[in-house]
Amino acid sequence: MLSEAAKEKIREQMSRYPVTRSALGHALYIAQEECGGWVPPEAVYDVAEVMGMEPADVQSMMSFYVMYNKAPIGKYLFEVCHNISCALLGSRGLLEVIDRKCGIRPGETSEDGMFTLKSVECSAACGGAPAVQLNGMYHEYMTPAKLEQLIDDVRAGKIPADSIYNAVYSADMTPREGA
């Protein structure tokens, strides 16, 4: 399922760490990027094979973390913070806008495959509350009107679907000796 290029990227990540297993987190991001935003079971097997691990071990690790998507997601991922400061200043109204305009509630993907909504814990943007992340980028001081505009802009093709959500950075990391 994973391309040779993706497998090579995983091997490169493995070479960065004193112990190769540390690269598992990044390997899953690489798999997720390759598979359109989620990690299908076949990709779990591939990651396990490249890393010399049991698939169940990979699955167990993956299931712990919320940023590995266990089901297909839309082209645009909305993450609406629902923690204290954002809740105080209007995150519920933002969730209602997305429900009304895109027909989705937290955890759901729109039928046209365009949008996925996650209601997330504090995204460290409390000073700009209420805050939303769209494909990993912050949009702060949101209001229902601004969010409606953002959704319209996405639909009008004004916002590229590129996501930095799965990025792993390694370009000039050099391999080092073992621990």
Partner 1 sequence: MPLARILTKWVDDPEQIGIEKAMERGYYKAARRAILEMQPDELIEIVKASGLRGRGGAGAPTGMKWGFMPKAPTPERPSYLICNADESEPGTYNNRELMEKDPHLLIEGMIISAYAIRCRTTFIYIRGEMVLAAKILADAIAEARRKGFLGENIFGSKFSTDIILHRGAGAYICGEETALMDSLEGLRGHPRAKPPFPAVQGLYGMPTTINNVETLCNLPYLVNEGVEWFRAMGTEKSPGTKIFSVSGHVKKPGNYEIIMGTSMKELIYDIAGGIRNDNDLKAVIPGGASMPMLPKEICMEANMDFESLQAAGSMLGSGGFIVFDDTTDIVQVCEVIARFYKNESCGKCVPCRIGTDWIHKIISRIIAGRGRPEDIDLLKGVCVNLGGEKMMDSRSYCPLGDAAAWPIIWGGLKFFQDEFEHWINHKESPVGLPAGLPAPV
The yes or no reply on residue 167 touching partner 1 (CB under 8 A) is yes
Residue 71's H or E segment, with its range, is none
- Which residues in 83-122 contact partner 1 (CB under 8 A)? 83-85, 87-93, 120-122
Residue with tokens 């809740």: 87
Task: Please identify, using beta-carbon distances, which residue of 156 and 178 lies nearer to partner 1.
Answer: 178
* Interface region with partner 1, contact rule CB under 8 A, candidates 3-11, 23-31, 99-107, 150-158: 23-31
Helices (H), 1-40: 4-16, 24-34
Q: How far apart are CA 5 and CA 34, in angstroms?
A: 10
Cα four-point dihedral sign 137, 69, 118, 147: positive
The yes or no reply on residue 123 touching partner 1 (CB under 8 A) is yes
Least gap, CB of 153 to partner 1 (angstroms)? 19
The yes or no reply on residue 24 touching partner 1 (CB under 8 A) is yes
| Best CA proximity match to 167, nearest among 40, 17, 29 | 29
Q: How far apart are CA 22 and CA 34, in angstroms?
A: 20
Least gap, CB of 26 to partner 1 (angstroms)? 7
Q: Which parts of this chain interact with partner 1 (CB under 8 A)?
A: 16-19, 21-26, 28-29, 60-61, 64-68, 79, 82-85, 87-93, 120-130, 133, 136-138, 143-144, 164-165, 167-169, 171-174, 176-177, 179
